A and B are shown apart, each in its own frame.
Chain A
Amino acid sequence: MRHKYVPVHRHTLWYYMGGVALFLFMVQVFTGILLVLYYQANENSAFESVRFIMTKVQFGWLIRSVHSWSANLMVFFVFVHMFSTFFTRAFRKPRELTWVSGFILLTLALGFGFTGYLLPWNQLAFFATKVGTDIVGAVPFIGNAAKIVLRGGEDVTGATLSRFYAIHIAILPAIFTIFLGLHLLFVQRQGMHEPDYMANLPADKKKLMPFFPNFLLRDLLLWVVVLNALLALAVFFPWELGEKADMFASAPAGIRPEWYFVFMFQTLKLLPAHVLFIEGEVLGIVLFGLAAIAWMLVPFWKSRGEPHGRSRALKIIGVIVILYIIGMTVLGYAR
């Protein structure tokens, strides 16, 4: 730790994003443990227990609102962290596994988001879970079995709620901890990535900052800023509870999943019922699955082109991915 140095250059700012995501994860663990004290994962009392937390428990509204806001901000900063790593090409050798473990952490974070969304047992969450698990069901070969295991039966019921609760507070945290440990270990072992132009400079021309205490103190300062922003959001824009889930009510108009799933949701909405002989949703799911795997394997992409052309091609791909995600998300909210 004492011998660790952080390169100082015009993109140093991006080094802080992973730290912010880590801090928000710690907030999630802390507030999550507090919520568990009152929450009841049961079809008949889940909604009521969250309402109880928000209306009767002292500062319960704050804890729940911070948990929801922090979850969303965490996903946001994980995305920022990932794209900054992509565009600075910090995933290259020897950091391939840091990228892969980071990608797995992203999918786990989305899993946290998806399972946590159902827990208040409100109408939006109920339909989001129905759709989300049905999408799992469309995966070729193993889909149907996975869907039934996830739902705890054929339909989304109280059994699904119990399972999602177990996944949210036991299974995912256990797996997440392992990959987070690996991810941090890799970062610690390999040090911070230097941009190309800097790696070629002679040692005395490089601007560096000691990790301890200089970078760490900046990290901590930023965490305090983030915490204040988080509290402000939680206080001034408290998270809503919505209406209790009713298994026999029509899906309300304007229904959509959490913002970080909207681009996939919107794509599924736009796909026609059948593309050639394949059902539209199956095609969408398979394509998204393949894209995710390709993205996870970015450090291993091989190309015959010269290095400069290769980095330009990567940049273009990254920009297209971001534009697609933003475009589809905007479209999803526009209607």
Chain B
Amino acid sequence: MMQKAKSRPTTAEQSGDGMAISRRQFLNLLLGGGILGWLGSVIYPVFSYLRPPKTPEANVQSVKAGLASEFPVNSAQIVKFGRRPVILIRTDTGDFRAFSATCTHLECIVQYRTDLKQIWCACHNGLYDLKGRNLSGPPPRPLEEYAVKVVGDEINVARSAGVGS
């Protein structure tokens, strides 16, 4: 019996082609591939579901930020620039400066320190100067600068060239 079973030629041998596969291999491939495909078709939608859809961001180019006459020197406030916070600072000399208020280290919102006359992030003690340059602490990059224009008495904050475009 054993002898007989052994000598029986396989499908591959019958066809005489080295590339051909046996019926068993073919069925295994079909079954394995089928299971993989099935798993993929179950897992893929779940993973895609977990990825939140992109919500379009309002394309804000500039915002009004109140009246210059009501803005004390050596002070700052956070301005909503679309969905982003922007810090608007009035320096000792009365100049206005605006920067992205999101710390470049770990995204906390920075504040203006009237005692230091610098921008400070409370989360990890990062410091920036009034040009937005990272001075000390962990922040790796400067803050993005925004353009400020005072038209009449009204403060206007706008994207600088090359920022967020």
Residue ranges of A at the interface with B (Cβ–Cβ < 8 Å): 127, 130-131, 134-135, 145, 148-149, 151-153, 155, 159, 247-255, 265, 268-269, 271-274, 279-281
CB–CB B140/A280 < 8 A: yes
Contact code string B94-108 (vs A, CB < 8 Å = 1, else 0)? 000000010001111
CB–CB B52/A152 < 8 A: yes
Top 9 A-B pairs ranked by shortest CB distance? A250-B111, A251-B108, A251-B122, A273-B140, A131-B106, A134-B106, A269-B124, A253-B122, A134-B107
CB–CB B123/A255 < 8 A: yes
CB–CB A130/B108 < 8 A: yes
CB–CB A149/B50 < 8 A: yes
> Bound complex: CA of A132 vs CA of B161, how far in Å?
32
Residues of chain A lying within 8 A (CB to CB) of residue B101: 250
> Bound complex: CA of A279 vs CA of B83, how far in Å?
27
Residues of chain B lying within 8 A (CB to CB) of residue A148: 51-52
CB–CB B106/A281 < 8 A: yes
Q: Please tell me which one of the listed residues A153, A247, A250, A274 contacts residue B52 in the complex, with CB atoms under 8 A apart.
A: A153
Residues of chain A lying within 8 A (CB to CB) of residue B124: 131, 265, 268-269
Residues of chain B lying within 8 A (CB to CB) of residue A153: 52, 55
Residues of chain A lying within 8 A (CB to CB) of residue B157: none
B110 within 8 A of A: yes
Residues 109-150 of B at the A interface (beta carbon under 8 Å)? 109-111, 121-125, 134, 137-140
Residues of chain A lying within 8 A (CB to CB) of residue B155: none
> Bound complex: CA of A152 vs CA of B55, how far in Å?
11
> Bound complex: CA of A134 vs CA of B105, how far in Å?
9
CB–CB A250/B55 < 8 A: no
Residues of chain A lying within 8 A (CB to CB) of residue B51: 145, 148-149
CB–CB A130/B106 < 8 A: yes
| Given A134-B107, A255-B122, A273-B140: 13 more A-B contacts, CB < 8 Å | A135-B106, A149-B51, A153-B52, A153-B55, A248-B78, A250-B78, A250-B111, A251-B108, A251-B122, A253-B122, A255-B108, A269-B124, A271-B138
Q: Please tell me which one of the listed residues A127, A149, A272, A281 contacts residue B108 in the complex, with CB atoms under 8 A apart.
A: A127
Residues of chain B lying within 8 A (CB to CB) of residue A269: 124-125, 137-138
Q: Please tell me which one of the listed residues A155, A254, A279 contacts residue B122 in the complex, with CB atoms under 8 A apart.
A: A254
CB–CB A247/B85 < 8 A: yes
CB–CB B123/A249 < 8 A: no
> Bound complex: CA of A148 vs CA of B53, how far in Å?
10
Residues of chain A lying within 8 A (CB to CB) of residue B137: 269, 273
CB–CB A281/B138 < 8 A: yes
B149 CB to nearest chain A CB (Å): 22
Residues of chain A lying within 8 A (CB to CB) of residue B85: 247-248
B23 within 8 A of A: no
> Bound complex: CA of A254 vs CA of B124, how far in Å?
10
B164 CB to nearest chain A CB (Å): 13
Residues of chain A lying within 8 A (CB to CB) of residue B110: 250-251
CB–CB B52/A149 < 8 A: yes
Residues of chain A lying within 8 A (CB to CB) of residue B125: 269
> Bound complex: CA of A94 vs CA of B101, how far in Å?
54
A-B contact pairs, 10 of them (CB 8 A): A127-B109, A130-B106, A149-B51, A250-B109, A250-B110, A251-B111, A251-B121, A269-B124, A269-B138, A281-B106
B116 CB to nearest chain A CB (Å): 12
CB–CB A248/B140 < 8 A: no
CB–CB B78/A249 < 8 A: yes
> Bound complex: CA of A152 vs CA of B122, how far in Å?
25
> Bound complex: CA of A159 vs CA of B140, how far in Å?
28
Chain B residue nearest in CB terms to A269: B124
A58 CB to nearest chain B CB (Å): 38
Residues of chain A lying within 8 A (CB to CB) of residue B111: 250-251
Residues of chain B lying within 8 A (CB to CB) of residue A273: 105, 134, 137-140
Contact code string B49-63 (vs A, CB < 8 Å = 1, else 0)? 011100100000000
Residues of chain A lying within 8 A (CB to CB) of residue B105: 273, 281
Chain A residue nearest in CB terms to B79: A248
Known: A251-B123, A273-B140. A131 touches B78 (CB 8 A): no
CB–CB B107/A131 < 8 A: yes
CB–CB A130/B107 < 8 A: yes
Residues of chain A lying within 8 A (CB to CB) of residue B140: 273-274, 279-281
Residues of chain B lying within 8 A (CB to CB) of residue A135: 106
> Bound complex: CA of A259 vs CA of B111, how far in Å?
24
> Bound complex: CA of A249 vs CA of B108, how far in Å?
10
> Bound complex: CA of A235 vs CA of B27, how far in Å?
68
> Bound complex: CA of A279 vs CA of B140, how far in Å?
7
Residues of chain A lying within 8 A (CB to CB) of residue B123: 127, 131, 251, 255
Chain A residue nearest in CB terms to B140: A273
